[in-house]
């Protein structure tokens, strides 16, 4: 564990208790860098006191894990790398590097809620939205090309910030992974809507958001074929370290724990689609019985 403000031990629950990861040694990195685990910026010479060292923290931890456990010394080892929310976004941009670092050991990614979709906030909202936030973090945190990914940067030469943004970056992630996002991701909708999803017009916006999320998964099922895609028709976010990991279900009765079990057993190179296809809108989809568990 990292962070001097936390106790030496921590009961995280959720994915850390999953039988799918029995026998694995778990390493938890607390989020404290405010940059999606992507930055390499020191304090500015103009008096700016802020540092964004997310990239450096991730790589230091990975190197320390190898030094401690000598993972690459045994080809039968397996590494599962990823995170939830900001941790998933960091996992998204570092996963292919981690796979190369631990070669020839098998590396898989578990990415819970990195899939930001490019939908501007509605005109009635005062929020700036995640796209504008990403552009600003790109400038502030000095996110380098090795984090952005060469193939992604070459595709978006005029908009390198897109390589930090899930809808665009996931297309270039080649390492086998489990990609998770709620159809109505509560964090993203909270960054788009000033007063939550309550009024008729905010519900209409959420309907559009859910449709775009389903479409993004559909596109990625072709561009990133070695994966399990899992999406509940629910209004939540990053449930992998909560009890909802075991209880909240999609329309077929599958929990995130079920999706992880499927992922850990599937062959590298296969695509498994576990995306709920609920298309009756926010008000109906989020009221399905599985979402309240």
pLDDT > 70? residue 26? yes
pLDDT band at 45 (very low <50, low <70, confident <90, very high): low
Please report, rounded to a whole number, the percentage of residues in the chain having pLDDT higher than 70: 97
**Model confidence over 85-134: pLDDT tens digits?**
999 999 999 999 999 999 999 999 999 999 999 999 999 999 999 999 99
178/170 Cα distance (integer angstroms): 11
Give the pLDDT score at 224.
78
Least confident of 49-58, 175-184, 283-292: 49-58
Over residues 67-82, mean pLDDT: 97
pLDDT > 80? residue 8? no
Two structure tokens written together for 167: 């809808």
181/23 Cα distance (integer angstroms): 26
User: pTM for the whole thing?
Assistant: 0.95
Between β-strands 177-180 and 271-275, what pairing exists: parallel, antiparallel or unpaired?
unpaired
Q: Are 54 and 38 in contact (CB under 8 A)?
A: yes
pLDDT band at 223 (very low <50, low <70, confident <90, very high): confident
Nearest residue to 92 (alpha-carbon basis) of 213, 218, 181? 181
Domain extent listing, the chain? 14-292
Least confident of 10-14, 24-28, 77-81, 251-255: 10-14
98/143 Cα distance (integer angstroms): 17
Q: Which residues pair with 229 in a beta bridge?
A: 179, 273
174/83 Cα distance (integer angstroms): 17
**Model confidence over 234-278: pLDDT tens digits?**
999 999 999 999 999 999 999 999 999 999 999 888 999 999 999
pLDDT band at 7 (very low <50, low <70, confident <90, very high): confident
pLDDT band at 43 (very low <50, low <70, confident <90, very high): low
Least confident of 20-24, 29-33, 101-105, 198-202: 29-33
Cβ count near 148 (within 10 Å): 21
228/214 Cα distance (integer angstroms): 14
Cα–Cα distance list, 239 to 78, 178, 218, 263 (Å): 24, 14, 22, 17
231/214 Cα distance (integer angstroms): 8
Give the pLDDT score at 225.
75
Give the pLDDT score at 49.
73
Give the pLDDT score at 1.
43
Nearest residue to 161 (alpha-carbon basis) of 170, 148, 171? 148
Residue carrying the six token digits 């936030």: 133
Q: Are 186 and 235 in contact (CB under 8 A)?
A: yes
Q: What is the largest CA-CA distance in the chain?
A: 58
Residue 18: what are its φ and ψ, rounded to 5°?
-70, 135
Over residues 34-43, mean pLDDT: 86
Which of the 8 DSSP states describes residue 233? S
Q: Are 217 and 167 in contact (CB under 8 A)?
A: no
């Amino acid at each position: 564990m990292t962070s001097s403000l936390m106790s030496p031990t921590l009961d995280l629950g959720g994915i850390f208790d999953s039988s799918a990861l029995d026998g694995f040694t778990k390493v938890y990195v607390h989020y404290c860098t405010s940059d999606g685990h992507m930055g390499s910026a020191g304090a500015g010479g103009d008096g700016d006191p802020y540092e964004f060292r997310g990239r450096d923290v991730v790589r230091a931890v990975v190197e320390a894990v190898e030094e401690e456990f000598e993972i690459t010394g045994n080809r039968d080892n397996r590494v599962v790398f990823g995170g939830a929310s900001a941790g998933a976004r960091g996992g998204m941009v570092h996963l292919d590097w981690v796979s190369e670092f631990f070669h020839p050991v098998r590396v898989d990614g578990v990415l819970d809620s990195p899939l930001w979709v490019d939908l501007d906030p509605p005109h009635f909202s005062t929020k700036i939205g995640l796209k504008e936030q990403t552009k600003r973090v790109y400038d502030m945190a000095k996110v380098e090309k090795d984090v952005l990914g060469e193939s992604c940067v070459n595709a978006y030469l005029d908009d390198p910030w897109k390589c930090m943004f899930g809808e665009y970056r996931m297309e270039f992630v080649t390492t086998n992974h489990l990609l998770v996002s709620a159809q109505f991701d509560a964090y993203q909708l909270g960054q788009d809507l000033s007063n939550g999803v309550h009024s008729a017009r905010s519900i209409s916006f959420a309907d559009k958001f859910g449709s775009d999320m389903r479409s993004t998964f559909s596109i990625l099922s072709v561009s990133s074929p070695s994966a399990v895609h899992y999406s509940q028709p629910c209004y939540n976010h990053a449930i992998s370290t909560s009890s909802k990991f075991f209880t909240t279900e999609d329309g077929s009765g599958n929990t995130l724990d079920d999706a992880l079990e499927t992922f850990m057993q599937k062959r590298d190179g296969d695509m498994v689609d576990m995306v709920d296809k609920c298309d009756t809108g926010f008000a109906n989809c989020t009221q399905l019985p599985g979402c309240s568990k």
